[in-house]
Structure 1
Amino acid sequence: MTLAETLGPARPGGAGTATVAVIGTGAIGRDLVAKIHRSPVLECGLVAGRNPDSAGLRYAAELGYPTTADGIDGLLAAPRPFDVVFDATNAMSHAEHWRLLEPLGTLLVDLTPSKVGRMVVPTVTGTRPQAGRNVNLISCGGQASIPVAHALAERFAIEYLEVVSTVASESAGRATRLNLDEYVATTQAALTAFSGVRDTKAILNISPAVPPANFRTAVHAVAPGCTLEAVRAVVDEAAERVRAHQPGYRVTACTVTGDRIVVALEVTAHSDVLPRYAGNLDIIDSAAILVAEQYTAGLGASATVPAVGSEAGR
């Protein structure tokens, strides 16, 4: 029996809903399925992986969703294209997934640091009509740091930006470890694109600490003439906007010493399947769900795709 026969005839989504699929059944994919399950507007039509015994496929099946161990081929065999596909695999695979899905008119939400699509940070980019249907969510460090870095660059004359993220070893899966170079390069490129600062650096640390430490990101900036009061006001406003879709996001410290700014951020996961320390996975998944739900709100009218302004992210 083919996958199309297993899934049955195409079932049209309800008004204001979108049928979605997830490629990738690691921790990110599993959490995406959990978030889709709770979404009032996203309907999970398929979860695709490569390992038939993966925890992600078992979890999706327990929730009653169709699964396939044929990866992208299984997704392409579905009876009709999905409105949205979440790619939770790796940067090397993403380009091929986009080549295959682009002709189908699907919105592809990329959770890998491939830098193939248009870079998106929801609280910074917002939504507007856009022809491109490949949305790149940069990295967990990018999602945590760029709202603050962008806000600081809008208010102060930033000469240098550095972002240091630390993730627990337990929350850094195989794809993350395969994509370390892409993670650093894509995060650094996004910092420059969204801040306008040419001199930037991105660093990722994987901590073996036991018990696992919460996901942390530190934003370092050089900005002559700023004050702690002004910096803190900007940072708190940016953080409050992020908390609208990621309640575990908080500022743990903010200091100004001479022309040097340091903002310490921590993200704890609010998830049905992730431990609290896996805020790195939760923040990028929460952004992905927000992008899909905003896109869904425009289906049947004038669909909108979150994208960066001007030339950033192209």
Structure 2
Amino acid sequence: MAKIQCMIIGSGNIGTDLMIKIRDTSEKLAVAAVIGVDAESEGLAMAAKSGFATSCKGIEGAQEFTEWDDIRIVFDATSARAHRHHDVICRAAGKQMIDLTPAAIGPYCVPVINMHEHLDKPNVNMVTCGGQATIPIVYAVTRVADSVPYAEIVASVSSQSAGPGTRANIDEFTQTTARGLEKVGGAKYGKAIIVLNPAEPPMIMRDTVYTLSFNAKEKQIEESIHAMLADIQKYVPGYRLKQDVQFETVGIDKPLAIPGYGKAIGLKTTVFLEIEGAGHFLPKYSGNLDIMTSAALATGERIAEFKYGVVA
């Protein structure tokens, strides 16, 4: 069966990396078109060189393509604000949307946790780079504990891997990631922080995940986390622990005082992650972008199987 035709909206870092991933690695998807708003962007130039239809007129320009009717899946790698406009047009045309912005019009999708629940949805949201990296760890704790009343993540990325789209969506990043920790990760209350680090040479993406849980043994949590790592590494090989999982029992005599939540006790778990990119387009230190495009590709391929019966 022929590959499913796709379009990428956004010719920046994320869109270009996704284009190369689909072009060079996918057995189920094919890039038909790439659109943007900057006629001089490197991404549009690379897309044109690869033989894909291109336009710098945005979604309106895409509707002029002869390929428009054949496009089944649209990946949006622009901004939360722009995605709302794109969704209206693409949904009316019956096209599947995979949203790589923090707009969160559709349900949050983290492939290793809940992708199977949303294969029939017209729009799925890939949360954020920090969400894709950290929500699975929170879920790994949640699935072996009676409850996880609190989860907090700190995502540290190189400032060089944070383009204008990322910088324009900082507020949406923190809000969407925090809600993802709750809705998908299973925490009762979630908090997210992003740090853009200007260090030279650029640092590889690192994430710290804190959870506070009840009625789970340390061994259970550690085994669950390692199982989750193995699942994620199937599509993000550079996803790994930076050091061993750490535990601390927080008793009623010295409860944690968590701003916005209050006093809390339980088993505190701390996980230090490092995410190295595959280097398809961006430097390997841009693991924050690579995990987003890898998750989006995995989701697109699974939707191609479910909706269109594509088998590699």
TM-score (norm 1): 0.88
Task: Tell whether the 8 Å contact from 1:16 to 1:297 is kept in structure 2 after alignment.
Answer: no
Residue 76 (structure 1) shift: 1.8
Alignment correspondent of 2:106? 117
Q: Are 1:261 and 2:269 matched, yes or no?
A: yes
Q: Are 1:69 and 2:59 matched, yes or no?
A: no
Residue 69 (structure 1) shift: 0.8
Q: 1:291 aligns with which of 289, 292, 299?
A: 299
Residue 301 (structure 1) shift: 4.5
Number of residue pairs matched by the alignment? 289
Where do residues 134-145 of structure 1 align in structure 2 (5 Å cutoff)?
Answer: 134-145=123-134
The 1-side partners of 2:65 and 2:301 are apart by 22
The 1-side partners of 2:139 and 2:118 are apart by 22
Residue 223 (structure 1) shift: 2.1
Where do residues 1-314 of structure 1 align in structure 2 (5 Å cutoff)?
Answer: 15-38=1-24, 39-79=26-66, 80-81=68-69, 82-128=71-117, 131-156=120-145, 157-224=147-214, 226-253=216-243, 254-258=245-249, 259-301=267-309
The 2-side partners of 1:55 and 1:153 are apart by 42
Which residue identity lines up with residue 23 of structure 2 in the other structure? H
SS of the equivalent of 2:27 reads coil
76-85 or 257-266, which deviates more: 76-85
CA deviation string 1:82-114 (max 9, x = no partner): 111110000111001001111111111100011
Task: Tell whether the 8 Å contact from 2:141 to 2:213 is kept in structure 1 after alignment.
Answer: no
Task: Tell whether the 8 Å contact from 2:235 to 2:295 is kept in structure 1 after alignment.
Answer: yes
Residue 59 (structure 1) shift: 1.3
Task: Tell whether the 8 Å contact from 1:129 to 1:302 is kept in structure 2 after alignment.
Answer: no
Over aligned residue pairs, what C-alpha RMSD do you find? 1.7
Residue 284 (structure 1) shift: 0.6
Which residue identity lines up with residue 96 of structure 1 in the other structure? H
Which residue identity lines up with residue 70 of structure 1 in the other structure? K
Over 3 Å counting, the alpha-carbon distance change for 1:227 and 1:292 in structure 2 is same
CA deviation string 1:190-243 (max 9, x = no partner): 111023322211111110111111001111011245444332211100111001
The 2-side partners of 1:118 and 1:75 are apart by 25
The 2-side partners of 1:283 and 1:98 are apart by 23
Which residue identity lines up with residue 45 of structure 1 in the other structure? A
SS of the equivalent of 2:184 reads helix
Over 3 Å counting, the alpha-carbon distance change for 1:250 and 1:122 in structure 2 is same
Residue 129 (structure 1) shift: 6.8
Gaps of 5+ in 1: 1-14, 304-314
The 2-side partners of 1:257 and 1:130 are apart by 39
Residue 257 (structure 1) shift: 1.6
The 2-side partners of 1:227 and 1:299 are apart by 40
Task: Tell whether the 8 Å contact from 2:153 to 2:210 is kept in structure 1 after alignment.
Answer: yes
63-72 or 210-219, which deviates more: 63-72
SS of the equivalent of 2:242 reads strand
Over 3 Å counting, the alpha-carbon distance change for 1:225 and 1:300 in structure 2 is closer
Task: Tell whether the 8 Å contact from 1:89 to 1:175 is kept in structure 2 after alignment.
Answer: yes
